[in-house]
Structure 1
Amino acid sequence: MLHLRESPSRITPVHQHVGPLVTIAIPTFNRSELLRACIDRVLAQTYPRFELLICDNASEDDTEQMLAGVDDDRLRVVRHDTNIGLLPNWNSCVEHARGDYIVILPDDDAIAPHFLERCVDVINQHPNLQLVVSLSDVELKEFGTAVPAQASRVLSTGVQDGIDVLMEFLRGRITVTMCSVLMKTSMLRERGGIPQNFPHTADVAAWAPLLLFGQAGFVNETCASFTHHNDSETGRLSLEQLLDDGWKVADLISAVADERVADQSKRELVRVNAKRCFARRGMIVLSDHRRNGGSISNLLNAAWRFRTHLRHGDPASAVRLAALLMLPRPVIDQLHRLKHAVATPSA
């Protein structure tokens, strides 16, 4: 078990800072071509004070040789002799980071050149922020399309009350993914690193509770792109695991709110919206299961088992799920293709 605790440190303003302010950490395994493209995007950052940490999970392809050919003194490589698993490798990133802040960037995701610059601008307004949240597009690999990030209509770029940012996320009003979040390395270590008991939602379980620790940075601008595809480690989890994992995160957020939020009405607001958020996400999981060819019987069994949780979801999600249950599979596929054709702007 990793021990990731260390004493908190005060962030020095950029013009006084010694060493990297930020660690951009890429956990990788057997995807050298994707990794090379990811590295190129990182090295294109307009803000210079960062290190690039690669945690190679015992890749068997040409990853090691490719990394040896990268000529940049900001690059540092940690290579494991054996594959330690996805989330332990994420924690290896946390363990070896030298920056005051860390971004965990999976090798199939991307960050914009201005990402760090925008985040550091906000940090300089308040040097003890636990995290900075920016927005992320979502690339749907299986459909060859991308969903643009949803921006907040009420929050602007700058220092915000962390609860306000969390509420925007829980209500589905902003699009945030792991690769668009800058987290305080010492705080993440104090909390034990990336939680290992959330195989599907470890990313949200890592950053979302930090928004309950006071003020947070917010960049109301797209700074990253997250790739969603079915051929992933989390994509191979069972339907029950996916649903259970989401609800555990709702419970975690509520528990941290009980510890950190003094105002009872705000605590209740966090609790209610956490339940609604992950009930809504649960409906999406069930819909995706059906769309990807899952049997109706499995879907109904899972929905019945988690019925007390799913009832917190919004009516629109329930209607979409009911439609997927009743419509024939060819009609579902056609509607889904039409939806993404309409949503995707022409070149």
Structure 2
Amino acid sequence: MTSDKVMMTDSIQSVVNSSPLVSIYMPTHNRLHLLKRAIASVQNQTYENFELLIVNDASSDGTKEYLEALVKSDKRIRCFHHTASKGACVARNLAIFEAKGEYITGLDDDDEFTADRLKTLIAEYDDSYAFICHGFFWHYGAKVRKVDYKPMVISLESIFDYNFATNQIFTKTSKLQKIGGFNPEFVACQDYDTWTRMLIEYGDGLRVSGASYIIHQGHEGPRVTARENKLLGYDLFFVKYQKYMSPRNIANQQFLVLMAGRKQLPFLKLLSLLRYGFWKRKIRYFLSSQLRTVALLRQQYLKGR
């Protein structure tokens, strides 16, 4: 290697070393074909000073062997293996408390980052907020929709209407560790509960403009959260935080439960809910719940079937 090339390599390494380390936690269980895509999206980040902590929650599909080979080729990746499945929350918490980065965020094994996600979040971070977050792309299979991409300050009051923080946040590692990470008692709504505890502990959160996370809904195979678990999660969330909620919050929580259970929304109930905002979403859900055949055809269209 020539001296010029050595100097260039040293200069690039100096920039990487001077940038704060970002930790990314990722639980996985028996979804190797999807996991590979998620990992590649992290490796392709334009911001290179990161560590990826993958917790294999007792997979039996070759995940362990794949990860053991992967860590030998990429020193930014660390892996942990459960011999018995302990659930996503326990897996996330293992990674969170092993994290060495100044900042931390998460990625589900069936989703992916856009290439500029970490660079964007680092540039936008404001420590006066509990966390920052970014919008996402809802990938149906054939069609893609950008969701929750407009900037807003997320208060405790507003998050009881709807999880405006989406399913991932970006924050100081010390902050997430201080609140204890994720609560394993939640079989669903774990992110909703965790972001709420962040707001209680540290004050408002901030959603910045744009989107950089891709949620895939078009794939076949097991889902992280089944419908029954979603309903249990919302029930536990409501019991835990009802004391903080206004009548508006309670009404909007009822609507979230209706959607999670895919229950029909009666017209009179729709009218009572409309005064609490989100009228476009509520009318859209009302129509889909009344016209099941149309809703099914729409889903098939979005998935490209």
Question: What interval of TM-score do these two structures reach, taking the shorter chain for normalisation?
Answer: 0.7 to 0.9
Structure 1 residues 239 and 33, CA gap change in structure 2 (3 angstroms): closer
Q: Deviations over 1:137-173 (max 9, x none)?
A: 22346xx544321332x64xxxxx553xx6676666x
How far 1:60 sits from its partner (Å)? Answer: 1.1
Aligned partner (choices 137, 149, 152) of residue 151 of structure 1: 149
Partner of 1:206: 194
User: Within 1, Cα distance between the matches of 2:226 and 2:303?
Assistant: 28
Q: Is the CA contact 1:276–1:314 (under 8 Å) kept in the aligned structure 2?
A: no
Is 1:219–2:208 an aligned residue pair? yes
Structure 1 residues 281 and 121, CA gap change in structure 2 (3 angstroms): same
User: Within 2, Cα distance between the matches of 1:168 and 1:274?
Assistant: 8
Matches within 5 A, 1:68-107: 68-70=68-70, 71-107=73-109
Q: Is the CA contact 1:135–1:220 (under 8 Å) kept in the aligned structure 2?
A: yes
Q: Is the CA contact 2:46–2:119 (under 8 Å) kept in the aligned structure 1?
A: yes
Partner of 1:132: 132
Letter in 2 for 1:281: L
Is 1:29–2:4 an aligned residue pair? no
Is 1:183–2:171 an aligned residue pair? yes
Matches within 5 A, 1:1-347: 21-70=21-70, 71-123=73-125, 126-127=126-127, 129-140=129-140, 145-152=143-150, 155=152, 162-163=154-155, 176-179=165-168, 181-211=169-199, 213-214=202-203, 216-228=205-217, 231-235=222-226, 237=228, 240-248=231-239, 250-251=241-242, 254=244, 271=246, 274-286=249-261, 288-289=262-263, 313-314=273-274, 327=290, 331-338=291-298, 341=301
User: Within 1, Cα distance between the matches of 2:65 and 2:35?
Assistant: 12
How far 1:217 sits from its partner (Å)? Answer: 4.5
User: Within 1, Cα distance between the matches of 2:190 and 2:63?
Assistant: 25
User: Within 2, Cα distance between the matches of 1:58 and 1:241?
Assistant: 24
Structure 1 residues 319 and 116, CA gap change in structure 2 (3 angstroms): closer
Structure 1 residues 335 and 25, CA gap change in structure 2 (3 angstroms): closer
The TM-score, its normalising length taken from structure 2, stands at: 0.75
Q: Is the CA contact 1:250–1:278 (under 8 Å) kept in the aligned structure 2?
A: no
Letter in 1 for 2:109: D
Letter in 2 for 1:199: V
Structure 1 residues 151 and 240, CA gap change in structure 2 (3 angstroms): closer
Structure 1 residues 250 and 324, CA gap change in structure 2 (3 angstroms): farther
User: Within 2, Cα distance between the matches of 1:95 and 1:275?
Assistant: 34
User: Within 2, Cα distance between the matches of 1:80 and 1:311?
Assistant: 49
SS at match of 1:73: coil
Larger deviation, residues 114-123 vs 273-282:
273-282
Structure 1 residues 208 and 46, CA gap change in structure 2 (3 angstroms): farther
Structure 1 residues 215 and 312, CA gap change in structure 2 (3 angstroms): same
User: Within 2, Cα distance between the matches of 1:67 and 1:17?
Assistant: 25
Structure 1 residues 197 and 68, CA gap change in structure 2 (3 angstroms): closer
How far 1:188 sits from its partner (Å)? Answer: 1.6
Partner of 1:11: none
Residues paired across the two proteins, number: 280
Q: Deviations over 1:286-325 (max 9, x none)?
A: 3x256xxxxxxxx99xxxxxx9xx9984365776676667
Q: Percent identity?
A: 21
User: Within 1, Cα distance between the matches of 2:46 and 2:210?
Assistant: 16
Q: Is the CA contact 1:194–1:202 (under 8 Å) kept in the aligned structure 2?
A: yes
How far 1:339 sits from its partner (Å)? Answer: 7.3
The TM-score, its normalising length taken from structure 1, stands at: 0.67
SS at match of 1:82: coil
User: Within 2, Cα distance between the matches of 1:133 and 1:103?
Assistant: 9
Structure 2 unaligned blocks of 5 or more: 1-13
Q: Deviations over 1:206-228 (max 9, x none)?
A: 12442452464432111102234
